């Protein structure tokens, strides 16, 4: 099923502005681009586009309230500057299983001031020496990279959204 049809089905007689979560996993993108998703989805907070054959996120509309974006298992290799431009409040980004090879590809994510969690499992970039150190240095706003913080502590189920630590003084 193509992405436009899937979006139409997911609306279930709602208007785009009523939708807070949109899961489009495993549908087909045409020419590797996002289709049918418009800026009318003003209240969208969670968008999942897992395994849809994306090469580019350039067609992403401005989604000012979007907090979580799932883009795993696509063919994205760059062009991430669009994310900072269109998704100013993004806190969680999953790019696992994409074609990201260099730390420099992640540079545009510096502009995502609210980004707390980034997943890059199964991307070539994770094979680089000092990968974790380099990403945390590039993106000081990050709390979690691949589910772990800078001290290798695992993210809690609440995604670390609570300010303060559970383990005081450790």
91 in any annotated domain: yes
pLDDT, mean over the chain: 93
Under 8 Å between Cβ of 115 and 139: yes
Tell me which of 46-50, 122-126, 166-170 is least confident. Answer: 166-170
State both tokens at 139: 């993106």
How much is the pLDDT for 165?
39
Whether the predicted pLDDT of 7 surpasses 80: yes
What is the mean predicted confidence (pLDDT) over 108-132?
98
The number of distinct structural domains making up the chain is 1
pTM over 0.85: yes
Integer Cα distance of 100 and 120 in angstroms: 8
Under 8 Å between Cβ of 83 and 113: no
20 in any annotated domain: yes
Phi-psi region of 5 (alpha: psi -120 to 50; beta: other; left: phi over 0): alpha
Domain harbouring 83, CATH code: 3.80.10.10
32 in any annotated domain: yes
78 in any annotated domain: yes
Q: Domain range for residue 39?
A: 3-145
Query: Could you give the angle at the alpha carbon of 124 between the alpha carbons of 25 and 58, nearest 5°?
Result: 50
Q: Which residue carries 């003003």 as its tokens?
A: 42
166 in any annotated domain: no
Q: Is 68 helix (H, G, I), strand (E, B) or coil?
A: strand
156 in any annotated domain: no
167 in any annotated domain: no
36 in any annotated domain: yes
Per-residue confidence at 158, pLDDT binned at 50, 70, 90? Answer: low
């Amino acid at each position: 099923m193509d992405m436009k049809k899937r979006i139409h089905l997911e609306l279930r007689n709602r208007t785009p502005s009523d939708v807070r979560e949109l899961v489009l996993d495993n549908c087909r993108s045409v020419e590797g681009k996002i289709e049918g998703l418009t800026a009318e989805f003003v209240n969208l907070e969670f968008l999942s586009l897992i395994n849809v054959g994306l090469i580019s996120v350039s067609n992403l509309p401005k989604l000012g309230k979007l907090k979580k974006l799932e883009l795993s298992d696509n063919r994205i290799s760059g062009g991430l500057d669009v994310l900072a431009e269109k998704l100013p409040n993004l806190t969680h980004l999953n790019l696992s299983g994409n074609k990201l090879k260099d730390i420099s590809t992640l540079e545009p994510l510096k502009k995502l001031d609210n980004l707390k969690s980034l997943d890059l499992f199964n991307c070539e970039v994770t094979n680089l020496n000092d990968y974790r150190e380099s990403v945390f240095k590039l993106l000081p706003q990050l709390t979690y990279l691949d589910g772990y913080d800078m001290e290798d502590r695992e993210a809690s189920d609440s995604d670390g959204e609570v300010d303060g630590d559970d383990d005081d003084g450790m």
